[in-house]
Amino acid sequence: MSANGTDNSTSKKPPSPSPLRFSKFFQSNMRILVTGGAGFIGSHLVDKLMENEKNEVIVVDNYFTGTKDNLKKWIGHPRFELIRHDVTEPLLIEVDQIYHLACPASPIFYKYNPVKTIKTNVIGTLNMLGLAKRVGARILLTSTSEVYGDPLEHPQTESYWGNVNPIGVRSCYDEGKRVAETLMFDYHRQHGIEIRIARIFNTYGPRMNIDDGRVVSNFIAQALR
Ligand SMILES: O=c1ccn([C@@H]2O[C@H](COP(=O)(O)OP(=O)(O)O[C@H]3OC[C@@H](O)[C@H](O)[C@H]3O)[C@@H](O)[C@H]2O)c(=O)[nH]1
């Protein structure tokens, strides 16, 4: 039972992974899908996952804000595969874990085509959950502090439900991520899918687009100009 009294547990067993998981070879190899892996955070996650010799990493990305350049050191590596794919289209591959990061995170980009942004959050997450159910994979969603909207509680605890404008110009991202979280929990309760959700607050670091309009990159860009 979570702090706000809702019962997020499930009585369902997770779907069984592919029979290949139990063969000797695959026991020691984890096939990991990273959607949005060509982006700022996604490419650093790929670097971390590739450090483990037992991981095979597959990145799907439509390069809306990410770039192959962020992954250049892995292209051609035997344990790495890069696929140009938009997660609003179904994806039929065999994997054991899914890190679902595909979504424009900068306001400049997600407000450029708000309908596409919410499609990516809703249909993209549905496609990834459908894949997780089919292959018995565990799935992590990178959510955001924007699910709290304009919070009335400081600091926000994870059980705080937020204060979000459903019809504003940022709602495609804020509400899109909230629906993505809803879908994650519904697949968990209804189908026993193993889920993880990380609500990422403001981040900065190498490979961040300096002019992507987020607060920290704005401060740095203004300081440099
Ligand atoms: O429709 C889309 C939109 C975006 N993407 C990709 O998703 C990736 C997003 O990476 P960005 O560099 O834009 O953003 P970040 O890495 O900072 O965002 C990260 O943290 C915030 C979360 O909300 C995002 O989901 C997560 O990607 C990019 O590679 C982009 O090309 C898709 O693959 N499909």
- In a structure prediction context, what are the per-residue pLDDT tens digits for the chain, which is 225 residues long? 454 556 788 888 888 877 766 676 666 689 999 999 999 999 999 999 999 999 999 999 999 999 999 999 999 999 999 999 999 999 999 999 999 999 999 999 999 999 999 999 999 999 999 999 999 999 999 999 999 999 999 999 999 999 999 999 999 999 999 999 999 999 999 999 999 999 999 998 999 988 888 888 888 888 888
80-84/97-100 β-pairing: unpaired
Which residue is closest in CA terms to ligand 1's atom 3? 103
What are the structural domains of the chain?
19-224 (3.40.50.720)
Q: How far is the CA of 196 from the centre of ligand 1 (A)?
A: 17
Nearest to 88 by CA among 52, 70, 115: 115
Burial of 68 (0-12, 13-18, 19+ CB in 10 A): middle
Asked if the ipTM is above 0.95, the reply is yes
What is the model's pTM?
Answer: 0.92
Ligand 1 is surrounded, with C-beta below 6 A, by 36, 38-42, 61-66, 86-87, 101-106, 120, 142, 144, 200
Which residue is closest in CA terms to ligand 1's atom 8? 36
